[in-house]
Structure 1
Amino acid sequence: MFTGIIKETVSVKEIEEAGEGLRVSVTRPQSFEELSKGESISLSGVCLTVEAFDSGSISFFLAEETLEKSWFSKLEEGDEMNAERALRPQDRMGGHIVQGHVEAVSEVLDVEELEEGWNMTFSLPDDLQDLVVYKGFIAVEGISLTVTDVTEDSFSVTVIPETWRETNLSDRYEGDKINIETDMMGKYVKKMMEGRGGIDG
């Protein structure tokens, strides 16, 4: 489980094919102390398991399912990804509950600079339309954000300067791909309503 509060980015150092997936090595942030094999780390919203690490890098295996659901199928050396370690019981709960289960790849449609921050608009996949609501939570590249506008085929968020500085959104432009995960609570509500016949299946 993650919070979507991003304080670190990492760069892809090495990529190699591994069966149906990829094995990827990224830079290790100085703040990522006391790592252990098997722990979970979110990279741009995707929950991955640490396979190996040393003082300067961390390695992960990206399974076929991960590549299908994220933009990681197009991963290149030097790409920047947002990194967050799993939530500990003693941590403060900022943002919202992010599972690290990316549901789809979205496209950046527009980036508008504001007086204080940026307004970003993304495409909205058809199968996620019922799960994205005005003022609701959404995870974009693993970042906990609030939906400021939503249409049938797009949604928008406002990115504050701190988030712009600390994450890879400052390197995302029109046409770029991003990973999205909708709010977990919305999924449960939708399932309950479908079970009661309240939503056409």
Structure 2
Amino acid sequence: MTAYAAATSTSLTIRADLALTLIDMLVLVTVAIVAGGSKKLGMSKRRAALAETLVNALAAVGMCLSMAIVAGIAVQRIAAGGVEPHGSGVVLAMSLNVAYAAVNFWILRRWKARNMAAASALARAQICLFSDKLSSNLLIAASLATAMIWEGTMIARFIDPVAGLLIATMTARWTIPVVRDTARSLRREFRRARRPVARLGNERL
């Protein structure tokens, strides 16, 4: 439905929503596989932690990629004089994002509860991811509604690209903690991996 809305409108924010949705789906499928696989395969805590770190790295890369795509298109549209959103997909996308916001808010609350019960880098990354999704949903719905209200004016031409820049800014805000946690986890895993090597070298000496 999001792809259909993007194809039947001229809105940047709807295309941004489609890009965010596809990237987030890739991350969430990977999270589901890792979370389920670590239990079924009986992974050691160390391997499970490494798998979660790699998933967090994927989430960070995905969020950075979506931020770059949205910001790049928004700057191009502003430089071109803006584009007013038109098409049947505008109303559909606005309705979808209101529904998405409700669903993502519910999921966000579940991740927050899980993190309070057992804090982890994976839970924190998902909290950032769904906070980003929720803020994007609200911004998209609000920008499309505002553009419809100001239809035919110069303001309406710039609401869409400015909303795209705001979405990119919010994504950057939620990406920073994920990148920081991932870097710390990778550094910790690297140090753990070096300890056996250093110990073996000392034994040989």
* TM superposition score normalised by structure 1: 0.23
Q: TM-score, normalised by structure 2?
A: 0.23
- Structure with the bigger percentage of helix: 2
Indicate the structure whose relative CO is greater, using CA pairs within 8 Å and at least 6 residues apart. Answer: 2
